[in-house]
């Protein structure tokens, strides 16, 4: 019987690791950060002038890349652990 209860908990923890939102958020921020950095590197002088002389794509891309890498680092250093069920409250024998 203990084998039956152990089997469902393993796929649940694997599913929880698969759908960890930190990975999704970190991956998207990292991807879009890289895209914006590339767009900022190839920005024309007219585009930079539109943004008051600030290469906004480059700066936002760097910021998004940092945020994305921080999310992925958080996921890597502090992985999700399945919740531990509480111990059964067993009353001692009163004799």
Model confidence pLDDT, tens digit, residues 3-43: 555 455 555 566 666 678 999 999 999 999 999 999 999 99
Mean pLDDT of the chain: 83
Token pair recorded at residue 80: 């999700």
**Per-residue model confidence (pLDDT) at position 40:** 96
Domain boundaries, the chain: 19-77
CB 55 within 8 A of CB 48: yes
**Mean pLDDT on 54-59:** 96
Phi-psi region at 6: left, alpha or beta (left = phi > 0; alpha = psi -120 to 50): alpha
**Per-residue model confidence (pLDDT) at position 80:** 74
**Per-residue model confidence (pLDDT) at position 81:** 74
pTM across the whole model: 0.68
């Amino acid at each position: 019987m203990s084998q039956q209860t152990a089997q469902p908990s393993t796929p649940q923890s694997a599913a929880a690791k698969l759908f960890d939102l930190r990975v999704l958020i970190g991956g998207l921020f990292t991807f879009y950060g890289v895209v914006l950095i590339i767009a900022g590197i190839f920005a024309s002088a007219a585009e930079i002038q539109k943004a008051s002389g600030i290469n906004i794509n480059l700066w936002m891309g760097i910021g998004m890349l940092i945020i994305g890498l921080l999310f992925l680092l958080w996921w890597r250093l502090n992985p999700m652990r399945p919740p531990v069920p509480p111990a059964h409250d067993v009353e001692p024998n009163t004799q």
